Amino acid sequence: MGDLLINLLASVIAGTAVWLAGFLRRRRKLNRARAFFGLTPGASCLLVASRHASSPREFSVHRRDVAALVELATFVRECGAYADRVGEDQPTGEIGRLTEFCVGGPGGASPRSVTHVRAILRGVTYEAFDEEKRRLSFTVGDTEYVFSQETSYVLLARFWGPVGKRPVFFIGGLTAGSNLAGARYLATHHPQLARAYGADRPFALVLRIIEPAAYGTDFTELVADVTDAAFTSTKSARGA
């Protein structure tokens, strides 16, 4: 009987140690995610999405942008925070008051994205779709990223306003499908991004979506870290 009790006690201690180790790993992972996104338990954050460019309805959002918002809201909820959807023309308050996820490039219908690019992402230029040339692109520094049937691109960036506080995550794709790819990349790769950039360093990354018509967002890859160029204004040199 004594040996049985000792064995049971040893099993309980071992099981408790395994559970505790797993709990601590999950807690550290959660705390790193919260720090990376600037989220705290019970806090709110903002989800800002472009209006559907081809829809006449004021509050219409492209279905793939809706899917991107769902991806973002899911991991926000996992961090114990709450996501508030904000229309592109609705006031969001000063930058940095709440963590913000801004979905949609300025080439679409997002005044909020236009403001972020003009004020902070000064080395980035989005070109409006040219019907004659059938051309859609954005430029970071001296490099242009052009949409084609085989390839699309999205700029994924994190930055802060002048007073710091909470970060803005900018997901500016050339298409709504590119926005979804950027949101899924952020949701999947934020642990690696946290290791690379910590909780307090801005970054700007160009992601490439390969064969989006065939693969959707499944084949998304990192093309370049354009952090230095994205936050350095070259627009005056271009005459912008």
Confidence (pLDDT) at 1: 59
The answer to whether the beta carbons of residues 97 and 166 sit under 8 Å apart is: yes
Confidence of residue 239 (pLDDT cuts 50, 70, 90): very low
| Mean pLDDT score, 170-188 | 93
92-142 pLDDT tens trace: 567 888 999 999 866 555 778 888 999 999 999 988 655 555 578 899 999
Q: Is 20 helix (H, G, I), strand (E, B) or coil?
A: helix
- Angle at 105 (CA atoms; ends 100, 108), nearest 5 degrees: 125
Q: Which of 14-18, 54-58, 137-141, 147-151 is predicted with the least confidence, judged by mean pLDDT?
A: 54-58
Q: Token digits for 11?
A: 């099993």
% helix, strand, coil for the chain, step of 5: 40, 30, 30
Average pLDDT, the chain: 82
Confidence (pLDDT) at 134: 59
Q: State the Cα–Cα distance between residues 146 and 127, nearest whole angstrom.
A: 10
What does each C-alpha distance from 207 to 69, 103, 173, 210 come to in angstroms? 18, 15, 9, 10
> pTM score, two decimals?
0.83
